[in-house]
Amino acid sequence: MTIFYIISIITILLALYMVLTDNTFRSILAFLGTVIGVAGIYFFSHAEFLAVVQILIYGGAIVTITIFILMLTPEIEKTELKLSTKKIFAGISSLLFLGILIFTLTGLKNKIEFKSFTIKEIGTKLLTTYAVPFEIISILLLSTLIGAIIIARKN
Amino acid sequence: MYHYFIISSILFTIGMYGALTKKRALQIYLCIELMFNAVNINFLIPMIVEGQIMMLFVITIAAAEAAAALALTLAIYRLKKTTSVEKITTLKN
């Protein structure tokens, strides 16, 4: 359980750094750390397949594309770190929202019993019971691919 | 069990704060991805196969969203030469 707490604290600290820093590249790197920390939480909860998928898709694909876009859209002006009323109000509302969430969710105190699922179980369920959502997801991916190409090309 | 809820709530709130205060479109997009991750942790708790299948679907949709959002960012940058959300005010006037 100690490892779980350490992973969680590192993840939350990295997420805080990602939000509070003004350097976008450092923000992306902190996001990479956060994603790997969440994958560690998955590993700890015996969801090994999901952890590997998380590292592959988030850590591999999404972070790489984000760095590409950061290089393609350079921002000339610097944004300075200052305390504006917008930030104060955003902080207050976020803290209130966090309070409501924790107050609501910690009322449930059941014990969690860990179960590990093999890839075979997940794949069988995915291609028998949930075959229709699977196909819809693949159509969504295809249409997003075509749409992204059409939006991003010149003219 | 409530450890998971607390971690996911904290991550979601951090992501929400970032999405409300950040200026560049890329940073807002990163914060939204953080919120996706935070919600995804909650699907672990029932410890059933359906939860993990749901997480797979959410990750797939996040990947699709990445392609669409970044293509839009590139297109807006070509038009306006900036991606700061405070300077893109075409709909205001």
Q: Over chain A (155 residues), what is each successive 10-residue block's mean pLDDT? A: 90 93 91 94 89 92 91 74 80 92 76 80 90 93 93 81
Nearest C-alpha of chain B: how many angstroms from A111? 6
A31 chain-B contacts, CB cut-off 8 A:
30, 33-34
CATH code for the domain in which residue B28 is found: 1.10.287.3510
Count A/B contacts: CB-CB distance under 8 Å: 196
In a domain, B91, yes or no: no
The residue segments making up the domain with residue A149 are: 117-155
Q: What is the pLDDT of residue A63?
A: 93
Cβ distance of A130 and B37 shorter than 8 Å: no
Total domains in chain A come to: 2
Of B26, B44, B50, the CB nearest to A45: B44
Burial string for A27-47 (b: 16+ CB within 10 Å, else e) reads bbbbbbbbbbbbbbbbbbbeb
State the complex-level ipTM: 0.91
Nearest to A15 among B11, B52, B62 (CB): B11
In a domain, B85, yes or no: no
Chain A nearest-CA residue for B22:
A19
Within a domain: B74: yes
Whether B86 maps to a domain, the answer reads no
At A18 the pLDDT is 93
| Inside any domain, residue B88 | no
Residues A2 and A64 in one domain: yes
The whole-number pLDDT of residue A40 equals 93
Cβ B83–A73 below 8 Å, yes or no? Answer: yes
**Domain around B16:** 2-80
For the residues of A21-70, what is the DSSP string, one character each? Answer: ---HHHHHHHHHHHHHHHHHHHHHTT-HHHHHHHIIIIIIIIHHHHHHHH
Band of pLDDT at residue B87, cut at 50, 70 and 90: confident
Decide if A93 is inside a domain.
no
Q: Give yes or no for residue B5 having a pLDDT over 90.
A: no
Structure confidence at residue A81 (pLDDT): 58
In-domain check, residue A63: yes
CB pair distance less than 8 Å for A109 and B1:
yes
